[in-house]
């Protein structure tokens, strides 16, 4: 029973195009989101601030070579683009994952982990493990003749190989929110969900984070609103776990989580832009693609029966 449910959850058959579209959208979005990223400044920061995390502990100290970081950034952003179009796919995606780990992890080694970039790195690690370039890739187009002779059933087929990577990425994304909700209950207990606590967060951040609006100050005047926001935050975050299993809960949970993050931006000055790539995983890209695809191709790809 467990094995059957496990298999049904992870290995629902999908088309190669489904996974390929997720690849295209994910890498393209990550490229746009991280285009302004510039880690070169960290080479000017004193080693006294160096507090390495994770695999960065193997380094003897912070990187000092400004030019090297500059080159790595260009390589990384280029690899995101080539991964999106599926050119030199395997190398591109491995490079995007390795350099993404390094460049997005580096700032976290200077005192504090910001949790915004964790999920994109996980996604960058999952995609190279998948067969996401079996469709809609430059590599595929270049090798089309050979593939059509030897591997036609994979190219046009529907198989579980194309389902699990997206399902895993979706699961990890929703678990991010469940973890956040669970951490509030573990560290703060039920008292976290009080108006006093919510008000203290909103008012405190006015001084420590300089948010773009004084909305927190306005909302904090209302005990009722503070209480509602505190309870709603935890409930919405915890709803991510049942949304993993109950398909009907998924859309309301995602809308709630997205709304929560949009709401947080003007109040606390925290921008969850990298999480856009996580929300994009749940959109029906194949449906959009079918609608946008030129009619002759659609006719070719349609089932004969």
Contacts with another protein in 206-265 (CB under 8 A)? 206-211, 214, 217, 220-221
Q: How far is the CB of 53 from another protein (least distance, A)?
A: 5
Are the beta carbons of 16 and 134 closer than 8 angstroms? yes
In 3D space, the residue among 171, 220, 182 whose CA is nearest the CA of residue 198 turns out to be 220
CA distance 60 to 40: 18
Q: Does 197 bind another protein (CB under 8 A)?
A: yes
Sequence-separated (6 or more) residues with CB below 8 Å from residue 267: 202, 205, 211, 213, 215, 216, 219
Stretch that binds another protein, among 140-148, 187-195, 285-293, 295-303 (CB under 8 A): 187-195
Which one of residues 94, 98, 175, 231 is an interface residue with another protein (CB under 8 A)?
A: 175
Are the beta carbons of 244 and 171 closer than 8 angstroms? yes
Q: How far is the CB of 174 from another protein (least distance, A)?
A: 11
Residue 233: both structure tokens together: 């935050």
Q: How far is the CB of 124 from another protein (least distance, A)?
A: 9
Which one of residues 5, 196, 273, 297 is an interface residue with another protein (CB under 8 A)?
A: 196
The alpha-helical segments, DSSP class H, found in 86-116 are 89-105
Which one of residues 18, 24, 30, 117 is an interface residue with another protein (CB under 8 A)?
A: 117
Binding positions for another protein, 61-100, rule CB under 8 A = none
In 3D space, the residue among 54, 15, 33 whose CA is nearest the CA of residue 284 turns out to be 15
Q: How far is the CB of 295 from another protein (least distance, A)?
A: 32
**Residue 9 or 87: which CB sits closer to another protein?**
9
CA distance 269 to 249: 29
Which one of residues 2, 4, 8, 46 is an interface residue with another protein (CB under 8 A)?
A: 46
Q: How far is the CB of 65 from another protein (least distance, A)?
A: 15
């Amino acid at each position: 029973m467990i094995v059957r449910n496990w298999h049904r959850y992870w290995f629902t058959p999908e088309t190669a195009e489904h996974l390929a579209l997720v690849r295209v959208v994910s890498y393209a979005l990550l490229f746009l989101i991280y285009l302004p990223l510039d880690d070169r400044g960290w080479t000017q920061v004193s080693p006294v601030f160096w507090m390495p995390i994770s695999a960065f502990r193997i380094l003897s100290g912070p990187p000092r070579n400004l030019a090297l970081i500059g080159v790595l950034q260009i390589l990384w952003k280029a690899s995101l683009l080539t991964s999106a179009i599926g050119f030199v796919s395997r190398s591109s995606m491995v490079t995007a994952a390795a350099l993404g780990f390094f460049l997005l992890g580096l700032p976290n080694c200077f005192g504090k982990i910001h949790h915004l970039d964790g999920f994109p790195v996980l996604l960058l690690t999952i995609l190279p493990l998948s067969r996401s370039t079996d469709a809609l890739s430059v590599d595929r187009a270049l090798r089309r003749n050979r593939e059509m002779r030897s591997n036609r059933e994979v190219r046009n087929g529907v198989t579980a190989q194309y389902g699990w990577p997206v399902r895993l990425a979706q699961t990890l994304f929703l678990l991010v929110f469940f973890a956040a909700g669970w951490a509030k209950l573990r560290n703060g207990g039920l008292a976290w969900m009080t108006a006093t606590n919510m008000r203290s967060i909103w008012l405190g951040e006015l001084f420590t984070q300089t948010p773009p609006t004084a909305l927190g100050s306005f909302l904090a005047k209302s005990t009722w609103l503070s209480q509602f926001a505190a309870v709603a935050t935890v409930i919405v975050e915890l709803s991510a776990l049942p949304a993993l299993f109950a398909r009907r809960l998924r859309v309301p949970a995602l809308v709630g989580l997205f709304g929560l993050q949009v709401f947080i931006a003007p109040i606390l000055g925290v921008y969850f832009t990298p999480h856009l790539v996580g929300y994009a995983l749940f959109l029906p890209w194949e449906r959009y693609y079918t609608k946008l695809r030129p009619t002759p191709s659609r006719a070719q790809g349609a089932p004969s029966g």
